[in-house]
Amino acid sequence: MVSGCAPEVSIVVPVLNGERFLDEAIQSLRNQTLASIEILVVDDGSTDSSMRIAERHAMVDTRVRIQRHARSNFATALNWGIRSARAPWIGRLDADDVALPEWLERQMGYLTEHPDVGALGAFGWMMGSRGNVVGLSRHGPVSREEFLRARTEGLIYLLHSSVVFPRDLVLSLGGYREGYGTAADVDLWSRIADDHTVLALPEPLIQYRIHRTAASLTRSEEQIEQTLRARCNALRRRAGEPELSLEDYRVWYRSQPIGQRIRRRLATRSQYCYRYGGSLLADRCARGLLWIGLSCLLYPPLPLARLRQQRVLWTGWARVRGRLESWMSARFLSGVSDTPSARTP
């Protein structure tokens, strides 16, 4: 397919050794009902056949562009793509995910009617490595009331593969910040939310792949720590206070009461077990139930909340689950804070 005019949306797809799923990801973008796009595949130093896969698509569809760079990091690769994009809007898709055909058409239709929205995500179907759907991911506020509540708490969560945002806005904010590792997206949404509305369409427009080699699992502890730091710094910015470096955040964290640190450690390990168990269950491996059970033993509020959000529990347990979650939250979460107060240096 040949596009004779400037694209409306540039979809940035960073890839590092993504040969297993990249072909399906690019094809899903070529199948978009919104045709005025460019598909920008940013190679971050792959050593497998990822670039040969991308080149095959580029040979038959001029909307596919390829950028090659030496190995850097996720945020840098994304910023390379954003800076070289030819469209005024940026869409995001990871190399292991799949976009449903109407994703961009639905997103851009909403953004055209709501120019105050600085970033727009969507819900997504969770699927295993073989493509079998296992649940629904419902990240992000779907109304301005929900957005204001989430902003007051510090962070806005969106399904990264699904987000569309204005190129110039993100460039004016400095793009993705490299110092936040795999939580660079959460940090970016929080900075956009300082002055703009951030929402999600309550429609599953993406298929989000769960597998054991995903960064959210292999770098789970780093991601959790950096997410908590992003929340801390969002609240500090809005209070007119300077942000904390990673080392300053760690110093503050070590100064917290031991009980709070133990609960946070248990929650971190519980989240890892939940993610690992979910990756096993997504591939129909029954051992995943053991990991989900271990997650519940380590820190019950977290898996209960996740199971409710992702709708993988059957309806008959909804009322019991809600009561358990309320009781566990009151018992385990009272007095827990992850944010330095205004007096933190």
pLDDT at 217: 66
Q: Mind giving me the DSSP string for 24-90?
A: HHHHHHHT-S--SEEEEEEEES--SSHHHHHHHHHHH-TTEEEEEE-S--HHHHHHHHHHH--SSEE
Query: Does residue 330 surpass a pLDDT of 80?
Result: no
- Stretch 9-33: mean pLDDT: 96
Query: Does residue 320 surpass a pLDDT of 50?
Result: no
* Residue carrying structure tokens 């055909």: 101
Mean pLDDT of all residues in the chain? 86
Structural domain boundaries in the chain = 9-212, 220-332
- Stretch 69-96: mean pLDDT: 93
Nearest-angstrom CA–CA distance, 266 and 115: 42
Report helix angle 258-282 to 220-238, nearest 10.
130
Percent of the chain at pLDDT exceeding 90: 60
Nearest-angstrom CA–CA distance, 130 and 136: 16
Q: Mind giving me the DSSP string for 285-336?
A: -TTHHHHHHHHHHH-THHHHHHHHHHT-S-GGGHHHHHHHHHHHHHHHSTT-
Query: Does residue 87 surpass a pLDDT of 60?
Result: yes
pLDDT at 340: 52
pLDDT at 198: 98
pLDDT at 117: 97
Task: Kindly indicate the confidence band of residue 344, based on its pLDDT and cuts at 50, 70 and 90.
Answer: very low
pLDDT at 336: 42
- Stretch 17-37: mean pLDDT: 96
Task: Kindly indicate the confidence band of residue 310, based on its pLDDT and cuts at 50, 70 and 90.
Answer: low
**Dihedral angle computed from the Cα positions of residues 91, 233, 199 and 13, in that order, rounded to the nearest 10 degrees:** 10
The answer to whether 167 touches 10, Cβ cutoff 8 Å, is yes
The answer to whether 35 touches 7, Cβ cutoff 8 Å, is no
What pTM, to 2 d.p., does this model score?
A: 0.84
- Residue with the bigger pLDDT between 319 and 14: it is 14
pLDDT at 341: 44
The answer to whether 165 touches 90, Cβ cutoff 8 Å, is yes
- Residue with the bigger pLDDT between 10 and 221: it is 10
Q: Quick one: tokens of 139? A: 């990240």
pLDDT tens string 186-224: 999 999 999 999 999 999 999 999 876 666 666 778 888
Lowest-pLDDT range, 165-174, 236-245, 260-269, 304-313? 304-313
pLDDT tens string 28-68: 999 999 999 999 999 988 999 999 999 999 999 999 999 99
pLDDT at 326: 52
Quickly name the fold that domain 9-212 has: Spore Coat Polysaccharide Biosynthesis Protein SpsA; Chain A (3.90.550)
pLDDT at 5: 79
pLDDT tens string 125-180: 988 888 888 888 889 999 999 999 999 988 999 999 999 999 999 999 999 999 99
